[in-house]
Chain A
Amino acid sequence: MNVSVVGQHEDRLAGILNSMSDQMVSREVVVGMPQGLHARPADQLAREARKWQSRIELLNNSQRVDGKSILEVLTLAAEAGTRLVVEVTGPDAHEALKAIGTLFDRNFNEQENNEGR
């Protein structure tokens, strides 16, 4: 009983601390799809990004866009081979960055399908 109460307190405390000091994490990703970061991956990216509380941004040199907006992501016009930085700030930053990074690492699951885009 006591132990679980303490556990709850710790969880709550951790939550408060996290929101007080939003973590910022980032990593580099490479656009591996031959067609570049076109509409479908942009849609997948925004859908994934919207699952997370954190602010998710993509940087291409001096350009910085909101990863939760397909419209914004498409303004990157990132061709195959482009290196982008994903920057995530917020309480679930680590998990969010991992999820977004995985999408890029797996080429948005589009290797086999080179048809529609």
Chain B
Amino acid sequence: MKFSDFVATDAIRSHVDAGTKEGVIREMSQSLVDAGSIAAADYESIVKAIMKREDLGSTGIGRGVAVPHTKHPSVSRLVGTVAVSHSGVDFESLDGEPVQLFFLLVSPPDRPGDHLRALENISRQLRDETFCRQLKSAKGPMDIRHLLEEADSHGVAS
């Protein structure tokens, strides 16, 4: 699975303002509403579900990256977006590092495989430190978009 298979490009944010976990999740979910990927009516329920998932254990996977996510019956296919916080947000990650790079995923409940393949793609690409650093220092959403496109075209699609 490629980034272009699930990242809503119009929802990409290069400068999130929020300084808390919930704030970031709200900002990213709102960007998905604005991009038309999720319905405004589902916003609150999606945010709550993502927060509930965070309560079970942080999705901060290390290297300043977090993948807040949930299953939600309102989506018929996996949707997601990317955001960068230049100041970093405490996400209770395994390595204790503040998180600067976020991948938020909302997937249909009956498609666990797609969710796994999206996580696989994100984690595989992020093993490349240069890619990770470039994303974190993106000046605008277009930078992020281009970096994702480049990763899609170079990476081995799976």
Contacts and interface: CB of A to CB of B under 8 A. Distances in A.
Contacts of B49: 116
A117 B113 contact: no
A38 B123 contact: no
Contacts, number: 78
Interface in B44-79: 49, 52-53, 56-59, 61-63, 65, 67, 69-71
B116 A77 contact: yes
A24 to B, nearest CB: 25
Interface string A76-104: 11111000000000000000000000000
A78 B52 CA distance: 24
Interface residues of B, number: 29
A40 interface: yes
Specify the main secondary structure of chain A where it touches its partner.
loop
B150 interface: no
B53 A74 contact: no
Given A74-B123, A77-B158, A113-B56, 5 more contacts: A40-B56, A71-B61, A71-B65, A75-B124, A117-B70
Interface of A: 34-40, 42-44, 46-47, 50, 69-72, 74-80, 113, 115-117
